[in-house]
Structure 1
Amino acid sequence: MNTLEKFRELGISENILTSIKKKGFEAPSPIQAKIIPEIFNSTDDLIGQAQTGTGKTAAFGIPIIQLLSEERNKVKALILTPTRELCLQVAEELNTLKGKKKTKIIPVYGGQSIDLQIRRLQEGVDIVVGTPGRIIDHLKRKTLNLSHIEFLVLDEADEMLNMGFIEDIEYILKNTNSTKRTLLFSATMPKEIKQIAQKYMKNQRVVAVENKTLTTDLTDQIYFEVNEDDKFEALCRIRDIVPDFYGIVFCRTKVDVDNVANKLIDRGYSAEALHGDISQYQRERILKKFKNKQINILVATDVAARGIDISDLTHVINYSLPQDPESYVHRIGRTGRAGKEGTAITFVTPDEYRRLVYIMRIAKAKIKKGDLPKVEDIIETKKAKIIEEIKATAETVDYEKNRHIDELSKELLGQLTPEQIVKALLSMNYGDEFDESSYSEIRDTKSVNRKGKARLFVSMGKENNATPKSLADFIYEKTGVEQRLLREIKVFDKFSFVTVPYEEAEVILTYFKKNKRGKRPMVEIAKEKKN
């Protein structure tokens, strides 16, 4: 069966099938196979129960793009997401699926200029992908009208619940028309989500797919905390500390892939770029070179790397943090094939740490923090490799078959000392390898106060039936910070105190700062006592 035939059987148009082919999809995921026909063939509201990374964006995006009316100057679909990162990801994914259809899709989120968003909305938009807070800002300014939408999607509803957005969601729902179709996607179905569905969805039906187990057993996993501007230097150091490096470097965008690959080539590394703009002929040529180890670094996007089946990679490097836990598992799984262990390295900027914790928690991944190689260690590694190469050559070359080498060596020994000859040959062949100035300084991402501990105030106490254990469990469940890192837990009648390392404190505070927007966060830095 043609690889697109299974998608065609779902009722997808030829225009979108062309986009699917370009993206490299081979067959519908379970949630796509169940949801797409339901949206096409019924008018019911739907609840899709599926975990992150199962292809649900395409599951709702494909039929929505295909079914939207051609009427201009009205927002026809709203997709709510809990985070800015997911908002951008969903908008980007929908734009790659629409093909030649002139559907205008924009992301709307906090942190971007609201004036820019207003101008784009005034120009006419078909699909808005947004975070709850910024959508409410536009509703209150009357710069967004949701009274004519055909579809409303609540993506990762349980995560929006965890982040305290339920009241915001209800406010948004009250500002929409009653004729729309509502599609709700959630990995879990807590009672608050069920209440939203019961209250605001009509004739709702649940479409569930079995959760897949995410496994990362065969891979040694390390993360390095680096500033964005230092990622390339960190990549070069990792490459140079591993004599037989053979791996894939994952970037988020095509532009990043080209930039990283070109910079590697400029530095003398054997690398190639692979992304969606590469022709099929070029793709096959590059993969052949990579499989034959004519190049040892492949820089790629997630989509372009689909279908690459190579079992002996030493490394996968997440130059850009994956969007979700399943993408992380798919990436790093390439090093653990055929029973061989590999190393997965992830670069994390300080403000991405919370998302790394989320990936670790969902994927049950044990990612340990590492220290980037020092320049002196890289030099020593290079020396050891050169010695091995020279010894191997000395033991295997048949000098009798090459009398000119034999004659030349004797002539040189008659004119120079052995030490002079060795130094000269090493300088001619390896002089640049030992140039420490070719490595740039990597700045420390830690501020001074992150090395210590933080005392946190929690507005939950004995009156809420809190105990030290239940409080530790609660914080772990919400943020992924392990209970063993929570120390000196003191529970009083109406509040509690917890001491944690600064790094984990940032994760906890970031989470609860977004919880219950407009109200005092449940967790804050404890105020110092005044003498």
Structure 2
Amino acid sequence: MNPFIELGIRHDIVNAISELGFEKPTPIQEQAVPVLLTGSNDFVGLAQTGTGKTAAFGLPLLELLDFSQKHPQALILCPTRELCLQIAKDIEKFAKNTPNVHVVAVYGGASISDQLRQIRRGVQIVVATPGRMLDIIGRNAIDFSGVKYVVLDEADEMLNMGFQEDINNILSTTPEEKKTWLFSATMPAEVRRIAKNYMTDPFELTVGTKNSGNANIEHHYYVIRARDKYAAFKRIVDSSPEIFGIVFCRTKIETQEIAEALIKDGYNADALHGDLSQQQRDKVMKRYRDRSLQLLIATDVAARGIDVNDVTHVINFSLPDEIENYTHRSGRTARAGKTGVSISLVNLKELGKIRQIEKVIGKSFVKMEVPKGADVVGKQLFALINKVQQVAVNDDHIDPYLPQIMDSFAELSKEEIIKRFTSLEFNRFLEYYQHAPDLNVDASESRENRGDRKGRSERFGRDGYKSDYTRLFINLGSVDNFTRGDMLGYICNNTRISGKAIGKIDLKGVYTFFEVENTSVDKVFSGFQQVDFNGRSVRVENAGDSHGEKRSGGKSYRNSGNGGGEGRKRRDHNGGGGFRDFSSKRREKSRW
């Protein structure tokens, strides 16, 4: 018998969650579901992210609500668009075999008219972010007088994001007799105040220790100089060839810069931050969930609610300003009982913060050494060998070529073939890493060298733009659904120049400025001579030609023909961003 039956969940719902792979309840589900099924208590549940809180409140709601009625009976508030969508989709999956269940996701960045239309058709469960929910309430477009249950999910993060007043206003439109269920990973004083103001003698449940980290996560830290942070980060990534991770930064600017630097270096990466439109965010997340991205570079706010299976690593490129956020970051890995690694890159001055985090999460960090170049080469080489062993062979398609292949290798021994095959990749790794310096810092050093205080562009491997770059204009921008990463891939695909040759990309609404090394300017103009985009001629000019800036060369091309469509198609075929597949990314010398 499925253990969820014993918790009191009926068969049609259990059958649906069994198809989703739910074999046994997680600790929060096992302890919370029986309490919530009574429908008679306010509730406070504390558990780390990734422990199954959505099912802990979603399954009882499906048992308690009357789905013959088409008015809102449950309101779920959460901090981000991604989490809002995730919760709504999960509940719909749980209710797959239950008739007449209607769930609406209400969040900013999407069409409010579509959301209003769904509400008018009749819904029982509303999942919402506070800002958009207040907008709809302000239009008198929803009636919460029949709401029986309010769920505050990720309550600590909603308060961190400044939603307390919004939450107060929303809850004031709901009945006094409703039951409030609050779920949180941490329990700061602000969350305690919400519990006091809106709940009556709530049932409190803590799974694990308050504010603690997931027991299945290993916590590592590397001590490095600030100037070496990006180089050390790449080396750590390279030493884990199968990495599928999320990289956290403090700011949107840092997020975008690191993503662009990684893309130029041949990694399959993209950025997720608050300046992206909803369509751009959805596009990035789809690629990440489909695993056509291997590294997602994100800010804390943007990454809240990301529930992606099998994330192997969380990397803190910068430690969070608030220690509690470390728990949320690391909780993106080791979800649903799996294991994961949380890595932090720190300088000597930040060692004290590592000790503070250790006290908060109740776990010790392990100091790791940045891998030496030879170690990375070995890891990559044996990852390649393992990939060869695992590759599926299509006998029907390859058999016709085998005689010619065998003839080509006839004079080589098995050992010689293996040596030459592995050297194709080994030589690339070796060339890049054979003179790689030791990036580790002795923790006994009193302070970092003054030379560590470098600008971002040098840290990311460029010496600045200076006179080595020419600023160009292209008549495509964000309205064409380009991110800066997309634009980089589009330029490289159409011109066949390396991403290393591209400097700063300044993306505007209907056009973009970008910098390119002087030696590659002619290649850019040549590459865009026969290009259009969605039936519109693509125009590339020196930035001064149309925009009042100093002219650098006087060239410009107004392009016609069908080449641009193919260029765009080629970019999409490569995973939506024009970047090489991570597993075979080592194609050009600039990467290695």
| TM-score (structure 1 length as normaliser) | 0.49
TM-score, normalisation: structure 2? 0.44
